[in-house]
Structure 1
Amino acid sequence: MFSLSKKVIIVSGGTGILGGAFIKAIASQGGKVVILGRNELTGNRRAAEINKEGAEAIFIAADVLEKDQLEMARDKVLSTFGRIDGLVNGAGGNIPEAVLAPDKDVFDLNIEGVKTAMNLNLWGTVLPVQVFGPELVKSGSGSIVNISSVSSVRAITRVLGYSMGKAAIDCYTKWFAVEMANRYGDKIRMNSIMPGFFLTEQNRTLLTQPDGTLTSRGHSIISHTPFKRFGDPEELCGALIWLLSDDSKFVTGTTVGVDGGFTINGGV
């Protein structure tokens, strides 16, 4: 069960921390991995590591907000593997300009920063779907997995742009799943994973001190997480592999929470 044998799967944000776990998991299940990202050094190194282990992977440098780069990436994938079966929209995250500093009033939001964060998380998912989606339909069992966040359903302070982008992803996942089903039946599906708190390069300084101890924000998150810890990137991979595989063939428009109980915790 949950085999990805012979499936060609694109992972945007494949050079990030979560993306690194995703590509290893896909390769371990027999998938052919396309690592999409902007960090060529990391991308090429990760592809080489996977190929050394006997699986297949290529790296393609592309910005998920640039349609022409995505189209060139699509053409390279097709010329290399001849098909596309899966897409993981892992690119996203927050940017410093979009974070409301503790000493700033709520009316001092950096609007341009908020817009940039929202655009990255929303349009950085929509554009790859528009470019790669038609090829997934042709595979006959295409699966798209978006990355949501607990900040889409719970008010998380200071990160408005990121939160709005992820809330839009929730809406998009449901809406697009229905629209695709109306046109293509079960030939292509869209679902999402809702991670809780995982340490990445983008949130590390918000959640931990330089010595690795928790900031006050980090302590607050842990206290509201029933498991009392951050997640490990590999703990997202079970849900990911299931959603990419044919064993979730009748699942679409669904969001799978992987959050250590954060969203269900009433705090009492």
Structure 2
Amino acid sequence: MSYLESLFSLEGQVAVIIGGTGHLCGSMGVALARAGAEVVLVGRNPESAIDKLAAIDEFGGKSWFFQADVTKRDELQKLLDQVVARSGKVDILVNGAGAGSSTPFLKITDEEYKQLVDINFSSVFMACQIFGEYFIHSLERNSIINVGSMAGMLPVSGLYGYSAAKAAVHNLTKNLAREWAEHDIRINTLVPGFFPAGQATKQGDESRALEILRHTPMSRFGNAEELTGATLLLASNIMGSFITGTEIVVDGGFSSMTI
């Protein structure tokens, strides 16, 4: 094993990727599998997992899909139970389910607001409760990676419910990091900037995309694979061992811009 492999290897670990059928979290799942972890991709649509599972299988990695509505507590509990039964344990949890909306603020219905909060925040809250309790009793070192958003740090125009829910994810992560450090549970927020599959870039037209690029010093959108370094750092119990309660931003410099 090379020096770098010894630092970032996840051999023998099991990673659950909620939202793993999506573009960004799917790429994170592939990265974790390449580092040696067995990966469980969680989502609603089995067809969306096919290409990710195939990519992992291609290099001899181990992965499988679990279908769940992660806005429901009983399905999250079933997820944990099934993973432990099939894979023996869980070491890493990625909370990456998300959905956005461009509905004008005064037109957002109670139903739409609840949907946005449920998928972007409540799913994270409940998953942290269910898996966190398991981690505490496992007496092992564990990592939780909550996928935040630039909209959770800086309000993004037109994404009212999404921005508020993601801000709650950032806050919860810091609170739990303080609470669970004594149990060797590290919990951090991975903050993607603007990626072609991101919620903020889905909502607007070409003029909005140009505005985002003007505000990004690197003058481009990110590629999903560019989340790999941060993902492996936060997942590794060696290289990430003293990192908890923080926000790792991968944004091409977007958050450094003012005027």
- Mark the CA change 1:58 to 1:226 in structure 2 (over 3 Å): closer, same or farther: same
Structure 1 runs not aligned, ≥5 long: 209-214
The question of 1:114 aligning with 2:113 is answered yes
Aligned AA (1:200):
A
SS, match of residue 203 in structure 2: helix
Q: Counterpart in 1 of 2:96?
A: 90
Write the distance in 2 (CA, Å) between the matches of 1:72 and 1:44: 22
Give the superposition deviation at 1:108: 3.3
Q: Counterpart in 2 of 1:51?
A: 57
Contact 1:83 1:139 in 2 (8 A): no
Contact 1:85 1:139 in 2 (8 A): no
Give the superposition deviation at 1:206: 2.7
Contact 1:93 1:162 in 2 (8 A): yes
Q: Counterpart in 2 of 1:266?
A: 258
Give the superposition deviation at 1:70: 1.4
Structure 2 runs not aligned, ≥5 long: 1-6
**What do residues 49-80 of structure 1 show as CA deviations (whole Å, max 9, x unaligned)?**
42342111111101111111112211111111
- Quick check: 143-152 or 197-206, which moved more? 197-206
- C-alpha RMSD of matched pairs (Å): 1.8
Residue pairs, 1:155-174, within 5 angstroms:
155-174=155-174
TM-score (norm 2): 0.91
Write the distance in 1 (CA, Å) between the matches of 2:24 and 2:204: 17
**What do residues 78-137 of structure 1 show as CA deviations (whole Å, max 9, x unaligned)?**
11111110000011131xxx4235xxxx53343432332122111111111222223333
Given candidates 25, 47, 57, the residue that maps to 1:41 is: 47
Q: Counterpart in 1 of 2:3?
A: none
TM-score (norm 1): 0.88
- Mark the CA change 1:49 to 1:232 in structure 2 (over 3 Å): closer, same or farther: closer
Write the distance in 2 (CA, Å) between the matches of 1:250 and 1:201: 29
Contact 1:92 1:124 in 2 (8 A): no
Give the superposition deviation at 1:202: 5.0
- Mark the CA change 1:223 to 1:5 in structure 2 (over 3 Å): closer, same or farther: same
Write the distance in 1 (CA, Å) between the matches of 2:140 and 2:256: 36
Given candidates 168, 191, 195, the residue that maps to 1:194 is: 191
Given candidates 99, 102, 110, the residue that maps to 2:102 is: 99
SS, match of residue 133 in structure 2: helix
Q: Counterpart in 2 of 1:69?
A: 75
Q: Counterpart in 2 of 1:249?
A: 241
Write the distance in 2 (CA, Å) between the matches of 1:205 and 1:168: 21
Residue identity (%): 36
Aligned AA (1:241):
L
Contact 2:177 2:186 in 1 (8 A): yes
SS, match of residue 132 in structure 2: helix
Contact 1:14 1:20 in 2 (8 A): yes
SS, match of residue 25 in structure 2: helix
Give the superposition deviation at 1:37: 0.7
